[in-house]
A and B are shown apart, each in its own frame.
Chain A
């Protein structure tokens, strides 16, 4: 792959950044700090004050690159805009002039009203905490846990799919059998069983999502691998004496990425729904830190009054817009892949 490392003569900055390696570097530059901030807040100590700073320009650049490379599909651009809107809010939450999301200030303030010299754009909740601040901070957790869970599920599912599809035989039988067993459970029951057993926490959500999503991912990858493994270039790699692992990851996987990326976007949507639902049921992320599911749960009783329905509507609309973003991205990518 020596030659691939040399950047191709590209026309614009965007074209150059859209190459796999620079794009991946930008992605990591954005993602690692966010994960460190949300998952390992205590461990990183004082670093937490600055850790997200480099991630913000990285995200902006990445957004520009994404819009540039998907400019052919309006749908994909809308989707990516929605997703990056929330992503940027998540990254910049610590640096925005927001009230403390956990501090009760004045209960039951409706949106767009001023109280005690403070203007509340989105009002406050039953306990008097600022809704704007809670919505923005809440998106941080949904995004980080949702994407992490999907990525982990994808890693496990894809590896198992490659093993079942490429190695076949005995491997295939075992993996497919386990997948079928897991798939026979209704997803929610599986979630509730796992989280009841392991206890509610972010990491356990990742495990639960992996158990419920990986079998379906495994099936998709297995089907794609079965097709690709009959190609001559795989045969060529085999006769070159390449290891099975290298063939699976380097020769085979890149050629099935198209349908997988589309499916991953859709699955991000499902996972977001699942995490929000789990938190709503009290099985996911724990209070007091803000989270959209938690906000919906806390607002569920008071929101019966029309006047206070904003407490429910704001997190609900937020989560819907994020899911819509993922789905539109999936649609746009699929549309583009069908074109050529």
Chain B
């Protein structure tokens, strides 16, 4: 660490917000940015103001298309062919960037402002070794020699906490994992010791536990180097963990600006309030805190309403006031530079909850519908030479999965990428055959029965909802036609007239207008497409529905509505729902039971209560700690995993988690498969740790009394660290 901070030669970060006389690093004044397309001018960002002091981290949060990236690109002055700043100014260190010439801009972009994008590969040259790419920065900017540059690159890799920096310097980008690539990109950005770091959704493409590591790193950089940061994200929890101040954007405008604490605890804009009410928090379930969806959907940039953009979706809308004229940013008295773009700040009762969530009683689960017993799926792949028979390798995609799902029950399968969720879905749906073990639906064995051999009734009983709304419907057929096909195929109705009737009924059920039957998918928004996907899945009256991350690709404000809808239909039909997800907040909200998977194996399973409270499996514990939580009152135990996820074609012989586990028992965990022990009727944990150790674990998520200031919160966390065993372990690991 010390080498890197020398290189950056940074003074200790001044406390943000202090010293009013200081020149802001970046200031946007009344910034307006438009794209010019065939359809005319698209005002992507309107009247955007931002003041970033040295050492401050500023979060910009908003749903897709609200203009977050456009702001970042405008700051970089990378607007592309059709984008243009049509009003306002951007001051960097007090100078207007629009008056700088190309040469000055290039200079600033390289050495003063650095940007990290969502896709690490967008910033890396695939044909160049990581070391050479990193070394280019000091060579180019500071005229360093090759040796010097490589030494600095190596030091920087260490300071972004990459293991084996020498190996990584020699690697090509594709030879390292996504999380490592993103760390390399951050290292590259830091090498020029920029004054301003722009991060545009830097962790969206990564798994939660990997994300937690990067977020931790970003926070450390801010503390250590005093770099000012703009952190763009759609995730409020991430902003809380990384930033001092926050701008909430909606449909091209900033609607609320303030310190993280003011905005999170005393929000003064109905949209912000709606956003908070519609995201599930991992310490509350559907009974304690029902989600309240924001009605309606985002307006397109050229179809914005007059007056307040949020007007059509706002509960406090007042005709004549909210829809006449420009709504200015108004200051909130008493708070530190807290502004809101709402004319009714004084009149709204901010203590009242945003709308009333409807508390629904849980449906009691019935008999076992689906029973998975020791189900194993291995893929044989041939590696190496093209002409000679290569070495045969076995990818263990699913290893001895066993669990049950009951009627009307929601079972969540939680795990990160590559844990075998999709393979499991494929076996269940009959597109792959299980290598061994059984999958029983009622009394039909499905594991060895491909879909061609299944009877229409069996197929109809098992349906699926997909993740990507843009892929789930066939763009060439009408919405009604696609639902009708399912009804006809499964023989629910035979008569043409009755089929049409059923299609319309299904559209009613998913709360879409009936004339959508004649529309084509491209005329629908993402949330609407996902509703059609749900209608299609339920058209054949299934008894089990597999939902593969059905809302993760949707905008935050429509996620809640789609989630609620799915649960209502499920409750109504007493369907068994297998909900695949990586988001523990959502899972906590809707699941009755949870199965935690890692690298093809089940690590822990139990009721939602059991999973969220100790004893934990070490992986569950890390997963819980990694979930960003948008609540200042929540304290989390801080567990950051080091080590890499092993490849599925070469998993460790013992516990699959042993390469990253902070509790790993050297000599045992690597070689001996962990025993599966029961800690309650259905609560199973696969781990070598003794029962006492597991039972002695402390809860990861705790709700503190009253709001805790973010700074204090963080310091407290750092002191607290993990349990003694883990602390000792991680110390030992960092020594190696």
Binding site for B on A (CB under 8 A): 1-4, 6, 8, 231-233, 235-242, 251, 254-255, 257, 339
- Picked from A2, A6, A251, A257, the residue with its CB within 8 Å of the CB of B474 is A251
- Picked from A3, A237, A241, A251, the residue with its CB within 8 Å of the CB of B452 is A241
Could you tell me if B499 and A2 are in contact, using CB atoms closer than 8 angstroms? yes
Could you tell me if A239 and B38 are in contact, using CB atoms closer than 8 angstroms? no
Looking across the interface, which residue of chain A has its beta carbon closest to that of B429? A239
- Picked from B429, B454, B459, B485, the residue with its CB within 8 Å of the CB of A1 is B485
Residues of B near A231 (CB, < 8 A) are 471
- Picked from A2, A6, A235, A240, the residue with its CB within 8 Å of the CB of B459 is A240
Interface residue? B430 (CB, 8 A): yes
- The A-contacting residues of B in range 8-56, CB under 8 angstroms, are 38
Residues of B near A239 (CB, < 8 A) are 429-431, 451, 459, 462-464
Interface residue? B401 (CB, 8 A): no
- Picked from B451, B474, B481, the residue with its CB within 8 Å of the CB of A255 is B474
User: In the docked arrangement, what's the CA distance between A339 and B37, Å?
Assistant: 10
User: In the docked arrangement, what's the CA distance between A8 and B485, Å?
Assistant: 19
Which 5 pairs from chain A and chain B are nearest by CB? A254-B476, A3-B480, A232-B466, A232-B471, A239-B429
Looking across the interface, which residue of chain B has its beta carbon closest to that of A233? B474
Looking across the interface, which residue of chain A has its beta carbon closest to that of B485? A1
Interface residue? B255 (CB, 8 A): no
For the A-B complex, the count of residue pairs with Cβ-Cβ distances under 8 Å equals: 76
User: In the docked arrangement, what's the CA distance between A326 and B473, Å?
Assistant: 33
Chain B residues touching A, majority SS? helix
User: In the docked arrangement, what's the CA distance between A241 and B489, Å?
Assistant: 9
Could you tell me if A8 and B518 are in contact, using CB atoms closer than 8 angstroms? yes
Q: How far is the CB of A139 from chain B (nearest CB, A)?
A: 34
Residues of A near B484 (CB, < 8 A) are 1-3
Could you tell me if A241 and B456 are in contact, using CB atoms closer than 8 angstroms? yes
Could you tell me if B518 and A6 are in contact, using CB atoms closer than 8 angstroms? yes
Could you tell me if B472 and A339 are in contact, using CB atoms closer than 8 angstroms? no
Residues of B near A6 (CB, < 8 A) are 518
Provided the pairs A232-B471, A233-B474, A251-B474 are in contact, do residues A3 and B459 lie with their beta carbons within 8 angstroms? no
Interface residue? B247 (CB, 8 A): no
* A and B contact pairs by CB, cutoff 8 A, 21 listed: A1-B484, A1-B485, A2-B480, A2-B500, A3-B478, A3-B481, A4-B480, A6-B518, A8-B518, A231-B471, A232-B467, A233-B474, A236-B472, A237-B474, A239-B462, A239-B463, A240-B486, A241-B451, A241-B452, A254-B474, A254-B477
Residues of B near A237 (CB, < 8 A) are 474
Residues of A near B474 (CB, < 8 A) are 233, 237, 251, 254-255
Could you tell me if B517 and A3 are in contact, using CB atoms closer than 8 angstroms? yes
Provided the pairs A238-B451, A239-B431 are in contact, do residues A4 and B464 lie with their beta carbons within 8 angstroms? no
- Picked from A1, A232, A240, A241, the residue with its CB within 8 Å of the CB of B481 is A1
Q: How far is the CB of A141 from chain B (nearest CB, A)?
A: 35
Interface residue? B338 (CB, 8 A): no
Provided the pairs A239-B464, A241-B489 are in contact, do residues A4 and B472 lie with their beta carbons within 8 angstroms? no
User: In the docked arrangement, what's the CA distance between A233 and B478, Å?
Assistant: 13
Interface residue? B475 (CB, 8 A): yes
User: In the docked arrangement, what's the CA distance between A231 and B471, Å?
Assistant: 6
Contact with A along B622-665 (1 / 0, CB 8 A): 00000000000000000000000000000000000000000000
Q: How far is the CB of A229 from chain B (nearest CB, A)?
A: 12
User: In the docked arrangement, what's the CA distance between A2 and B483, Å?
Assistant: 10
Looking across the interface, which residue of chain A has its beta carbon closest to that of B463? A239
Q: How far is the CB of B547 from chain A (nearest CB, A)?
A: 12
Residues of B near A8 (CB, < 8 A) are 518
User: In the docked arrangement, what's the CA distance between A140 and B476, Å?
Assistant: 34
Tell which of A4, A232, A237, A339 has the most Cβ of chain B within 10 Å: A232
- The A-contacting residues of B in range 166-212, CB under 8 angstroms, are none
Beyond the given A4-B481, A232-B472, A254-B474, please list 9 additional residue pairs across the A-B interface where CB-CB is below 8 A.
Answer: A2-B481, A232-B466, A232-B467, A238-B451, A239-B429, A239-B430, A241-B451, A255-B474, A339-B38
Q: How far is the CB of A98 from chain B (nearest CB, A)?
A: 44
User: In the docked arrangement, what's the CA distance between A297 and B261, Å?
Assistant: 87
Residues of A near B503 (CB, < 8 A) are 3
Tell which of A238, A240, A242, A255 has the most Cβ of chain B within 10 Å: A240
Looking across the interface, which residue of chain B has its beta carbon closest to that of A255? B476
User: In the docked arrangement, what's the CA distance between A239 and B489, Å?
Assistant: 12
Interface residues on chain B, number (Cβ under 8 Å): 38
Residues of A near B454 (CB, < 8 A) are 241
Tell which of A4, A6, A237, A241 has the most Cβ of chain B within 10 Å: A241
Looking across the interface, which residue of chain A has its beta carbon closest to that of B483? A3
Interface residue? B496 (CB, 8 A): yes
- The A-contacting residues of B in range 456-511, CB under 8 angstroms, are 456, 459, 462-464, 466-468, 471-478, 480-481, 484-486, 488-490, 496, 499-500, 503
Q: How far is the CB of B519 from chain A (nearest CB, A)?
A: 9
Residues of A near B473 (CB, < 8 A) are 233
Could you tell me if A1 and B518 are in contact, using CB atoms closer than 8 angstroms? no
Could you tell me if B466 and A235 are in contact, using CB atoms closer than 8 angstroms? yes
Q: How far is the CB of B40 from chain A (nearest CB, A)?
A: 14
- Picked from B431, B452, B477, B499, the residue with its CB within 8 Å of the CB of A4 is B477
Could you tell me if B486 and A4 are in contact, using CB atoms closer than 8 angstroms? no
User: In the docked arrangement, what's the CA distance between A237 and B462, Å?
Assistant: 13
- The A-contacting residues of B in range 140-184, CB under 8 angstroms, are none
Contact with A along B699-714 (1 / 0, CB 8 A): 0000000000000000
Q: How far is the CB of A196 from chain B (nearest CB, A)?
A: 38
Looking across the interface, which residue of chain B has its beta carbon closest to that of A8? B518
Could you tell me if A238 and B431 are in contact, using CB atoms closer than 8 angstroms? yes
User: In the docked arrangement, what's the CA distance between A204 and B539, Å?
Assistant: 50
Q: How far is the CB of B143 from chain A (nearest CB, A)?
A: 45
Residues of A near B593 (CB, < 8 A) are none
Residues of B near A339 (CB, < 8 A) are 38
Residues of B near A255 (CB, < 8 A) are 474-476
Interface residue? B617 (CB, 8 A): no
User: In the docked arrangement, what's the CA distance between A2 and B504, Å?
Assistant: 12
Residues of B near A236 (CB, < 8 A) are 464, 466, 472, 536
Residues of B near A240 (CB, < 8 A) are 459, 485-486, 489-490
Residues of A near B499 (CB, < 8 A) are 2
Could you tell me if A3 and B451 are in contact, using CB atoms closer than 8 angstroms? no
Could you tell me if A242 and B478 are in contact, using CB atoms closer than 8 angstroms? no
User: In the docked arrangement, what's the CA distance between A235 and B425, Å?
Assistant: 11
User: In the docked arrangement, what's the CA distance between A237 and B464, Å?
Assistant: 11
User: In the docked arrangement, what's the CA distance between A287 and B496, Å?
Assistant: 55
Q: How far is the CB of B578 from chain A (nearest CB, A)?
A: 14
User: In the docked arrangement, what's the CA distance between A254 and B503, Å?
Assistant: 23
Residues of B near A254 (CB, < 8 A) are 474, 476-477
Looking across the interface, which residue of chain A has its beta carbon closest to that of B497? A2
Residues of A near B463 (CB, < 8 A) are 239
Residues of B near A2 (CB, < 8 A) are 480-481, 484, 488, 496, 499-500
Residues of A near B467 (CB, < 8 A) are 232
Looking across the interface, which residue of chain B has its beta carbon closest to that of A254? B476
Residues of A near B462 (CB, < 8 A) are 239
User: In the docked arrangement, what's the CA distance between A86 and B517, Å?
Assistant: 41
- Picked from B451, B471, B500, the residue with its CB within 8 Å of the CB of A233 is B471
Could you tell me if A233 and B481 are in contact, using CB atoms closer than 8 angstroms? no
Residues of B near A242 (CB, < 8 A) are 489
User: In the docked arrangement, what's the CA distance between A198 and B334, Å?
Assistant: 93
User: In the docked arrangement, what's the CA distance between A30 and B124, Å?
Assistant: 56
Looking across the interface, which residue of chain A has its beta carbon closest to that of B540? A240
Provided the pairs A239-B431, A241-B456, A254-B476 are in contact, do residues A3 and B518 lie with their beta carbons within 8 angstroms? yes
Tell which of A2, A4, A235, A237 has the most Cβ of chain B within 10 Å: A2
Looking across the interface, which residue of chain B has its beta carbon closest to that of A239? B429
User: In the docked arrangement, what's the CA distance between A255 and B473, Å?
Assistant: 11
User: In the docked arrangement, what's the CA distance between A4 and B517, Å?
Assistant: 9
Residues of A near B430 (CB, < 8 A) are 239
User: In the docked arrangement, what's the CA distance between A27 and B447, Å?
Assistant: 49
Looking across the interface, which residue of chain A has its beta carbon closest to that of B518? A8
Looking across the interface, which residue of chain B has its beta carbon closest to that of A7? B518
Looking across the interface, which residue of chain A has its beta carbon closest to that of B479? A3
Q: How far is the CB of A202 from chain B (nearest CB, A)?
A: 34
Looking across the interface, which residue of chain B has its beta carbon closest to that of A253? B476
